Amino acid sequence: MRQAGRYLPEYRVLREKLSFIEMCRRPDVAAEITLQPLARFDLDAAIIFADILLPLEGMGIGFHFAAGDGPVIERTVRAAADLTGVHVGDPRTDTPYVLEALRLVARELGGRVPLIGFAGAPFTLASYVVEGGHSRQFAEVKKLMFGEPATFKRLMDLLADTVIAHLLAQIEAGAQVLQLFDSWAGTLGPRDYERFAAPHSQKVLDAVSGRGVPVIHFAGGSVGMLAQVRAAGGDVVGLDWRIDLDRAWAELGEGVAVQGNLDPAVLLGPPDEVERHAADVLRRARRRPGHIFNLGHGVLPATSPDTVARLVEFVHDWNGEG
Protein backbone atom coordinates (compact mmCIF):
# COMPACT_ATOMS: atom_id res chain seq x y z
CA MET A 1 0.00 0.00 0.00
CA ARG A 2 1.34 3.43 -0.90
CA GLN A 3 1.41 6.06 1.82
CA ALA A 4 -0.33 9.39 1.48
CA GLY A 5 1.95 12.39 1.34
CA ARG A 6 1.99 14.76 4.30
CA TYR A 7 1.40 18.31 3.21
CA LEU A 8 0.63 20.98 5.84
CA PRO A 9 0.79 18.57 8.81
CA GLU A 10 -1.10 21.03 11.03
CA TYR A 11 -4.24 22.73 9.79
CA ARG A 12 -3.39 26.33 10.53
CA VAL A 13 -6.44 28.38 9.65
CA LEU A 14 -9.51 26.18 9.29
CA ARG A 15 -10.46 26.50 12.91
CA GLU A 16 -12.13 29.76 11.92
CA LYS A 17 -15.81 29.73 11.02
CA LEU A 18 -16.00 31.05 7.50
CA SER A 19 -18.64 30.95 4.79
CA PHE A 20 -17.89 29.20 1.51
CA ILE A 21 -17.25 32.47 -0.32
CA GLU A 22 -15.02 33.72 2.53
CA MET A 23 -12.97 30.55 2.25
CA CYS A 24 -12.56 31.15 -1.48
CA ARG A 25 -11.39 34.71 -0.88
CA ARG A 26 -8.78 33.81 1.74
CA PRO A 27 -5.71 32.49 -0.11
CA ASP A 28 -4.31 30.86 3.02
CA VAL A 29 -7.60 29.04 3.65
CA ALA A 30 -8.09 28.06 -0.01
CA ALA A 31 -4.52 26.73 -0.12
CA GLU A 32 -5.05 24.68 3.02
CA ILE A 33 -8.31 23.19 1.72
CA THR A 34 -6.57 22.31 -1.55
CA LEU A 35 -3.81 20.49 0.31
CA GLN A 36 -5.97 18.68 2.89
CA PRO A 37 -6.93 15.78 0.58
CA LEU A 38 -3.26 15.12 -0.17
CA ALA A 39 -2.58 14.75 3.54
CA ARG A 40 -5.39 12.20 3.87
CA PHE A 41 -5.31 10.33 0.56
CA ASP A 42 -2.63 9.08 -1.83
CA LEU A 43 -3.81 11.22 -4.71
CA ASP A 44 -1.88 11.89 -7.90
CA ALA A 45 -2.85 15.56 -8.31
CA ALA A 46 -4.27 18.56 -6.45
CA ILE A 47 -7.05 20.84 -7.69
CA ILE A 48 -7.28 24.40 -6.42
CA PHE A 49 -10.16 25.22 -4.08
CA ALA A 50 -12.30 27.86 -5.83
CA ASP A 51 -15.66 28.20 -7.59
CA ILE A 52 -16.55 28.62 -11.25
CA LEU A 53 -18.75 31.66 -10.51
CA LEU A 54 -16.00 33.80 -8.98
CA PRO A 55 -15.08 35.57 -12.26
CA LEU A 56 -18.66 36.86 -12.66
CA GLU A 57 -18.33 39.62 -10.08
CA GLY A 58 -15.53 41.26 -12.02
CA MET A 59 -17.76 41.28 -15.10
CA GLY A 60 -20.40 43.37 -13.32
CA ILE A 61 -22.61 40.37 -12.51
CA GLY A 62 -22.99 39.99 -8.78
CA PHE A 63 -23.90 36.78 -6.98
CA HIS A 64 -24.15 35.34 -3.51
CA PHE A 65 -24.77 31.95 -1.96
CA ALA A 66 -28.10 31.43 -0.20
CA ALA A 67 -28.32 28.76 2.49
CA GLY A 68 -29.97 25.68 1.04
CA ASP A 69 -30.45 27.28 -2.39
CA GLY A 70 -26.93 27.53 -3.75
CA PRO A 71 -25.78 30.44 -5.92
CA VAL A 72 -28.10 33.38 -6.58
CA ILE A 73 -27.26 35.72 -9.45
CA GLU A 74 -27.98 39.31 -8.48
CA ARG A 75 -28.08 40.65 -12.04
CA THR A 76 -29.62 38.24 -14.50
CA VAL A 77 -29.20 38.69 -18.26
CA ARG A 78 -32.38 37.95 -20.21
CA ALA A 79 -32.39 40.70 -22.85
CA ALA A 80 -29.92 42.91 -24.72
CA ALA A 81 -30.41 45.80 -22.29
CA ASP A 82 -29.29 43.61 -19.40
CA LEU A 83 -25.79 43.45 -20.88
CA THR A 84 -25.22 47.18 -20.33
CA GLY A 85 -22.16 47.50 -18.14
CA VAL A 86 -21.21 43.83 -18.41
CA HIS A 87 -17.58 43.56 -19.49
CA VAL A 88 -14.64 41.17 -19.74
CA GLY A 89 -13.11 40.59 -16.33
CA ASP A 90 -9.46 40.87 -15.27
CA PRO A 91 -8.35 38.09 -12.90
CA ARG A 92 -5.51 40.13 -11.46
CA THR A 93 -7.93 42.68 -10.01
CA ASP A 94 -11.11 40.60 -9.79
CA THR A 95 -9.88 37.34 -8.23
CA PRO A 96 -6.28 37.94 -7.08
CA TYR A 97 -6.98 35.62 -4.14
CA VAL A 98 -7.32 32.63 -6.48
CA LEU A 99 -3.97 33.39 -8.07
CA GLU A 100 -2.31 33.82 -4.68
CA ALA A 101 -3.79 30.52 -3.49
CA LEU A 102 -2.32 28.84 -6.57
CA ARG A 103 1.10 30.33 -5.83
CA LEU A 104 0.92 29.18 -2.20
CA VAL A 105 -0.04 25.63 -3.17
CA ALA A 106 2.54 25.44 -5.97
CA ARG A 107 5.28 26.40 -3.50
CA GLU A 108 4.06 23.88 -0.94
CA LEU A 109 3.86 21.04 -3.47
CA GLY A 110 7.23 21.76 -5.04
CA GLY A 111 6.27 19.79 -8.14
CA ARG A 112 5.60 16.55 -6.24
CA VAL A 113 2.16 16.23 -7.86
CA PRO A 114 0.53 18.38 -10.56
CA LEU A 115 -1.64 21.34 -9.54
CA ILE A 116 -4.90 21.70 -11.47
CA GLY A 117 -6.56 25.03 -12.14
CA PHE A 118 -10.04 25.33 -13.61
CA ALA A 119 -12.86 27.49 -14.89
CA GLY A 120 -16.46 27.11 -15.93
CA ALA A 121 -17.21 26.84 -19.64
CA PRO A 122 -19.11 29.74 -21.23
CA PHE A 123 -22.39 27.84 -21.63
CA THR A 124 -22.47 26.63 -18.04
CA LEU A 125 -21.69 30.12 -16.77
CA ALA A 126 -24.36 31.58 -19.07
CA SER A 127 -26.85 29.12 -17.66
CA TYR A 128 -26.37 30.55 -14.17
CA VAL A 129 -26.33 34.15 -15.40
CA VAL A 130 -29.58 33.81 -17.36
CA GLU A 131 -31.44 31.45 -15.05
CA GLY A 132 -30.47 33.40 -11.94
CA GLY A 133 -29.01 30.35 -10.24
CA HIS A 134 -29.58 26.60 -10.37
CA SER A 135 -32.24 25.37 -12.79
CA ARG A 136 -34.05 22.15 -13.62
CA GLN A 137 -35.40 22.95 -17.08
CA PHE A 138 -33.00 25.67 -18.30
CA ALA A 139 -35.98 27.35 -19.93
CA GLU A 140 -34.74 30.93 -19.61
CA VAL A 141 -31.30 30.33 -21.08
CA LYS A 142 -32.81 28.42 -24.00
CA LYS A 143 -35.42 31.14 -24.47
CA LEU A 144 -32.62 33.70 -24.83
CA MET A 145 -30.54 31.34 -26.96
CA PHE A 146 -33.32 30.68 -29.46
CA GLY A 147 -35.21 33.99 -29.19
CA GLU A 148 -32.33 36.47 -29.13
CA PRO A 149 -29.33 34.62 -30.58
CA ALA A 150 -27.34 37.84 -31.08
CA THR A 151 -27.72 38.78 -27.40
CA PHE A 152 -26.87 35.26 -26.34
CA LYS A 153 -23.74 35.26 -28.52
CA ARG A 154 -22.64 38.58 -27.07
CA LEU A 155 -22.99 37.18 -23.55
CA MET A 156 -21.10 34.05 -24.53
CA ASP A 157 -18.29 36.08 -26.11
CA LEU A 158 -17.90 38.12 -22.92
CA LEU A 159 -17.82 34.96 -20.83
CA ALA A 160 -15.36 33.20 -23.14
CA ASP A 161 -12.93 36.12 -23.09
CA THR A 162 -13.18 36.31 -19.30
CA VAL A 163 -12.56 32.56 -18.92
CA ILE A 164 -9.52 32.79 -21.21
CA ALA A 165 -8.05 35.59 -19.12
CA HIS A 166 -8.59 33.65 -15.90
CA LEU A 167 -7.10 30.41 -17.19
CA LEU A 168 -4.03 32.12 -18.63
CA ALA A 169 -3.50 33.89 -15.31
CA GLN A 170 -3.78 30.55 -13.51
CA ILE A 171 -0.98 29.14 -15.67
CA GLU A 172 1.22 32.09 -14.72
CA ALA A 173 0.37 31.53 -11.04
CA GLY A 174 1.49 27.90 -11.11
CA ALA A 175 -1.30 25.73 -12.49
CA GLN A 176 0.24 22.78 -14.34
CA VAL A 177 -3.03 21.36 -15.69
CA LEU A 178 -6.28 23.15 -16.58
CA GLN A 179 -9.83 21.88 -16.58
CA LEU A 180 -12.81 23.45 -18.34
CA PHE A 181 -16.08 22.45 -16.66
CA ASP A 182 -19.18 22.48 -18.85
CA SER A 183 -21.45 20.83 -16.31
CA TRP A 184 -24.72 21.76 -18.07
CA ALA A 185 -23.70 21.00 -21.67
CA GLY A 186 -25.92 17.92 -21.60
CA THR A 187 -29.05 20.06 -21.33
CA LEU A 188 -28.55 20.79 -25.04
CA GLY A 189 -29.09 18.46 -27.95
CA PRO A 190 -26.10 17.69 -30.20
CA ARG A 191 -27.01 20.20 -32.90
CA ASP A 192 -27.73 23.01 -30.45
CA TYR A 193 -24.53 22.27 -28.53
CA GLU A 194 -22.60 22.38 -31.80
CA ARG A 195 -24.24 25.68 -32.80
CA PHE A 196 -24.50 27.64 -29.56
CA ALA A 197 -21.99 26.26 -27.04
CA ALA A 198 -19.12 24.40 -28.70
CA PRO A 199 -17.67 27.39 -30.64
CA HIS A 200 -17.20 29.32 -27.40
CA SER A 201 -15.65 26.38 -25.57
CA GLN A 202 -13.38 25.87 -28.57
CA LYS A 203 -12.36 29.54 -28.42
CA VAL A 204 -11.30 29.04 -24.80
CA LEU A 205 -9.54 25.74 -25.42
CA ASP A 206 -7.69 27.06 -28.47
CA ALA A 207 -6.50 30.09 -26.50
CA VAL A 208 -4.98 28.06 -23.65
CA SER A 209 -3.60 25.14 -25.68
CA GLY A 210 0.01 24.87 -26.80
CA ARG A 211 1.37 26.40 -23.59
CA GLY A 212 2.81 23.23 -22.11
CA VAL A 213 -0.18 22.75 -19.83
CA PRO A 214 -2.55 19.83 -20.58
CA VAL A 215 -6.22 20.78 -20.72
CA ILE A 216 -9.13 18.61 -19.57
CA HIS A 217 -12.49 19.29 -21.21
CA PHE A 218 -15.46 18.03 -19.21
CA ALA A 219 -18.97 18.27 -20.67
CA GLY A 220 -21.54 16.69 -18.36
CA GLY A 221 -24.29 14.59 -19.91
CA SER A 222 -22.56 14.56 -23.30
CA VAL A 223 -23.10 10.88 -24.16
CA GLY A 224 -24.96 11.77 -27.35
CA MET A 225 -22.41 14.31 -28.58
CA LEU A 226 -18.94 13.05 -27.75
CA ALA A 227 -17.77 13.77 -31.28
CA GLN A 228 -18.75 17.43 -30.88
CA VAL A 229 -17.05 17.64 -27.48
CA ARG A 230 -13.86 16.15 -28.92
CA ALA A 231 -13.98 18.57 -31.86
CA ALA A 232 -14.24 21.53 -29.47
CA GLY A 233 -10.80 20.68 -28.11
CA GLY A 234 -8.85 19.57 -25.08
CA ASP A 235 -6.08 17.05 -24.50
CA VAL A 236 -8.30 15.01 -22.16
CA VAL A 237 -12.07 14.47 -22.32
CA GLY A 238 -13.82 14.08 -18.99
CA LEU A 239 -16.50 11.38 -18.91
CA ASP A 240 -19.48 11.06 -16.62
CA TRP A 241 -20.95 7.67 -15.72
CA ARG A 242 -23.70 7.50 -18.35
CA ILE A 243 -21.62 5.56 -20.86
CA ASP A 244 -19.14 2.68 -20.62
CA LEU A 245 -15.59 3.98 -20.76
CA ASP A 246 -14.45 1.71 -23.58
CA ARG A 247 -17.40 2.67 -25.75
CA ALA A 248 -16.82 6.38 -25.10
CA TRP A 249 -13.12 6.10 -25.90
CA ALA A 250 -13.91 4.29 -29.14
CA GLU A 251 -16.27 7.10 -30.15
CA LEU A 252 -13.70 9.77 -29.24
CA GLY A 253 -11.01 8.08 -31.32
CA GLU A 254 -7.24 8.13 -31.13
CA GLY A 255 -5.13 10.97 -29.82
CA VAL A 256 -7.17 11.95 -26.77
CA ALA A 257 -6.96 10.86 -23.14
CA VAL A 258 -10.01 10.24 -20.95
CA GLN A 259 -10.78 10.95 -17.30
CA GLY A 260 -13.58 10.01 -14.91
CA ASN A 261 -16.47 7.62 -15.52
CA LEU A 262 -17.20 6.37 -11.98
CA ASP A 263 -20.60 7.39 -10.61
CA PRO A 264 -19.97 9.42 -7.41
CA ALA A 265 -23.07 7.87 -5.83
CA VAL A 266 -21.38 4.46 -5.90
CA LEU A 267 -19.21 5.69 -3.01
CA LEU A 268 -22.33 5.78 -0.84
CA GLY A 269 -22.59 1.99 -1.15
CA PRO A 270 -20.73 -0.85 0.58
CA PRO A 271 -17.01 -1.50 -0.11
CA ASP A 272 -17.58 -4.50 -2.38
CA GLU A 273 -19.91 -2.44 -4.60
CA VAL A 274 -17.38 0.40 -4.80
CA GLU A 275 -14.64 -2.04 -5.79
CA ARG A 276 -16.86 -3.78 -8.34
CA HIS A 277 -17.63 -0.51 -10.13
CA ALA A 278 -14.05 0.72 -9.95
CA ALA A 279 -12.73 -2.56 -11.36
CA ASP A 280 -15.20 -2.32 -14.23
CA VAL A 281 -13.86 1.12 -15.18
CA LEU A 282 -10.26 -0.09 -14.92
CA ARG A 283 -10.92 -3.22 -17.01
CA ARG A 284 -12.53 -1.15 -19.74
CA ALA A 285 -9.51 1.17 -19.80
CA ARG A 286 -7.26 -1.89 -20.33
CA ARG A 287 -4.23 -0.04 -18.90
CA ARG A 288 -4.25 2.01 -22.07
CA PRO A 289 -1.99 5.10 -21.92
CA GLY A 290 -4.01 8.26 -21.39
CA HIS A 291 -6.49 6.92 -18.84
CA ILE A 292 -6.96 9.02 -15.69
CA PHE A 293 -9.09 7.25 -13.09
CA ASN A 294 -11.55 9.62 -11.47
CA LEU A 295 -15.19 10.12 -10.58
CA GLY A 296 -17.62 11.22 -13.27
CA HIS A 297 -18.39 14.36 -11.22
CA GLY A 298 -17.69 15.75 -7.74
CA VAL A 299 -17.68 13.81 -4.48
CA LEU A 300 -21.13 13.84 -2.88
CA PRO A 301 -21.26 15.53 0.56
CA ALA A 302 -22.47 12.37 2.32
CA THR A 303 -19.46 10.34 1.15
CA SER A 304 -17.31 8.88 3.92
CA PRO A 305 -13.61 9.84 3.74
CA ASP A 306 -12.80 6.24 4.65
CA THR A 307 -14.57 5.10 1.49
CA VAL A 308 -12.50 7.51 -0.58
CA ALA A 309 -9.33 6.19 1.05
CA ARG A 310 -10.28 2.59 0.26
CA LEU A 311 -11.07 3.50 -3.34
CA VAL A 312 -7.73 5.23 -3.84
CA GLU A 313 -5.90 2.24 -2.35
CA PHE A 314 -7.89 -0.20 -4.50
CA VAL A 315 -7.10 1.68 -7.72
CA HIS A 316 -3.41 1.93 -6.97
CA ASP A 317 -3.16 -1.74 -6.02
CA TRP A 318 -5.45 -3.11 -8.76
CA ASN A 319 -3.86 -6.08 -10.53
CA GLY A 320 -6.40 -6.61 -13.29
CA GLU A 321 -8.68 -8.85 -11.26
CA GLY A 322 -11.93 -8.29 -9.39
pLDDT digit string, tens, across residues 199-248: 999 999 999 999 999 999 999 999 999 999 999 999 999 999 999 999 99
Q: What is the mean pLDDT of the chain?
A: 93
pTM of the model: 0.93
Q: Is the pLDDT of residue 272 over 80?
A: yes
pLDDT, position 276: 97
pLDDT, position 13: 56
Q: Is the pLDDT of residue 11 over 70?
A: no
pLDDT, position 269: 97
pLDDT, position 1: 35
pLDDT, position 222: 94
Collect all residues with Cβ–Cβ distance below 8 Å to 54 and sequence separation of at least 6.
Answer: 24, 94, 95, 98
Specify the range with the lowest mean pLDDT, choosing from 54-68, 113-127, 185-199.
Answer: 54-68
Pick the catalytic residue from 7, 25, 26, 51: 51
- Do the Cβ atoms of 141 and 127 come closer than 8 Å? yes
Question: Is residue 319 very low, low, confident or very high in pLDDT (cuts 50, 70, 90)?
Answer: confident
Pick the catalytic residue from 128, 161, 182, 230: 128
70-73 and 63-66 strand pairing: antiparallel
Question: Is residue 15 very low, low, confident or very high in pLDDT (cuts 50, 70, 90)?
Answer: low
pLDDT, position 157: 98
Selection from 63, 67, 8, 51 nearest residue 32 by Cα: 8
Active-site annotation holds for 191: no
Q: For residues 143, 144, 147 and 149, what is the CA-based torsion angle, rounded to 10 degrees? A: -140
The CATH architecture that domain 20-32+45-234 belongs to is Alpha-Beta Barrel (3.20)
From CA 74, how far away is CA 129, in angstroms rounded? 9
Active-site annotation holds for 263: no
Question: Is residue 66 very low, low, confident or very high in pLDDT (cuts 50, 70, 90)?
Answer: confident
Sign of torsion over alpha carbons 201, 93, 49, 66: negative
Active-site annotation holds for 15: yes
pLDDT, position 9: 43
Q: Is the pLDDT of residue 4 over 80?
A: no
pLDDT digit string, tens, across residues 104-119: 999 999 999 999 999 9
Active-site annotation holds for 128: yes
Specify the range with the lowest mean pLDDT, choosing from 85-94, 137-146, 266-275, 312-321.
Answer: 312-321
From CA 76, how far away is CA 155, in angstroms rounded? 11
pLDDT digit string, tens, across residues 291-310: 999 999 999 999 999 999 99
pLDDT, position 69: 73
Specify the range with the lowest mean pLDDT, choosing from 18-22, 147-151, 153-157.
Answer: 18-22
Question: Is residue 5 very low, low, confident or very high in pLDDT (cuts 50, 70, 90)?
Answer: very low
Active-site annotation holds for 286: no
Which of 93-112 are b and which e, b meaning 16 or more Cβ less than 10 Å from the residue's Cβ?
A: ebbebbbbbbebbbebbeee
Selection from 98, 77, 72, 99 nearest residue 87 by Cα: 77
From CA 320, how far away is CA 282, in angstroms rounded? 8
Q: Is the pLDDT of residue 6 over 60?
A: no
Beta bridge partner(s), residue 237: 217, 258
